[in-house]
Amino acid sequence: MQFEILLRWEIVNARSLGSRPPVRPRVIRGAARRDVACAATAALLLVAVAVWWPAQHERAKLEDTIGGKRRELVQAQQADELLRAYGRAAHRSRAPEKKLEHAATSRSW
C-alpha cells in the first residue's frame, strides 16, 4: 500500500515537473525463487535417478537370473516327465510283445 502511494506521488511530481517518472528496477524475487526451486527439484530428481538406476539394473539382472533358473527347472521337470512316460510305455508294451513272441514261437497247431 505504501509503495503504491509513493509511486503515485512520484508520478504526480514528475508530471508537474514535466519529466518522466524515474524507472525503478523490477524486483525479480518471485522468478528467482522459481528458478532456485526448479534447480533444486532438478537436482533432487537427479539424485533420485542416481540412486534408483543401479538398483533397477541389479533388480533386472536378478530377475533374468531367476527366470533362467525357472526355465531350467521347468525343462528338467518336463524331461523327467517324458522319461517316466517312456518308461511306462516300455513297461506296458512288454506284455503284448511277450504274448506275440510266445504266439510266434509256440507250435500248438
pLDDT tens string 26-68: 555 666 778 888 999 999 999 999 999 999 999 999 999 999 9
Of residues 38 and 103, more confidently modeled: 38
**pLDDT band with cut points at 50, 70 and 90 for residue 7:** low
18: left (phi over 0), alpha (psi -120 to 50) or beta: left
- The pTM is what? 0.46
**Which pLDDT score is estimated for 93?**
81
**Which pLDDT score is estimated for 15?**
54
Q: What is the pLDDT of residues 66-80, one digit of tens each?
A: 999 999 999 999 999
**pLDDT band with cut points at 50, 70 and 90 for residue 95:** confident
Query: Are 14 and 22 in contact, with CB atoms under 8 Å apart?
Result: yes
Backbone φ and ψ for 52, nearest 5 degrees, come out as -75, -40
**Cα dihedral sign for 79, 80, 81, 82?**
positive
Of residues 14 and 52, more confidently modeled: 52
